[in-house]
Amino acid sequence: MKSKIWLFGLALTLLFSLGACKSKESAYKAAYEKAKEKEMEEEKTVTEMTPVSKPATAPSNSYYNSTTVQKEKITAIDGSGLKQFSVVIGSFMNKTNASSLKERMQAQGYNVIIAQNEKQMFRVIVATFNNKIDAATERDAVKAKYNPDFQDVWLLEQQY
């Protein structure tokens, strides 16, 4: 009788120990989905921009005319007065982050506009102009004033 109980206990222990070592498909699936979600968030935060290097000498109008701009259709959601060319200092998926940067730059004396593009990105704009030369000049001034904080300042051309 004791041997039957002992044998039954050993079989039960063996069954539980082998079952506990088995990897669950749902655990793998959950880890995969979490990694995929993180990867998708990282892709959303990266925007396509062409960096423009600062020239060693004083820029000419031809420099500003050849400056690369990113073209987007945007709508002002916080602020007003968007013109054709805008100087963007930040781009966020979260409106709270954009509002925080807006408040910081308003304290510095800028008339900041938050605009949203068709991909639901919030663009923080510190200046907006009707011509590219003025926008590029202001972009360079912001870069120089806030070095190294805003070295990725870029120009956005409004598409209608």
Tell whether pTM > 0.85.
no
Domain positions in the chain are 61-158
Sign of CA dihedral 103, 107, 113, 117: negative
Q: What is the pLDDT along the chain (160 residues), one digit of tens a residue?
A: 667 777 777 776 766 666 655 556 666 677 777 776 766 665 555 444 445 555 545 556 666 666 789 999 999 998 888 999 999 999 999 999 999 999 999 999 999 999 999 999 999 999 999 999 999 999 999 999 988 887 789 999 999 8
What region, left, alpha or beta, does residue 13 occupy, with left being phi > 0 and alpha being psi -120 to 50 degrees? alpha
- Options 3.40.630.30, 3.30.70.1140, 3.30.365.10, 3.30.70.1070; CATH of 61-158: 3.30.70.1070
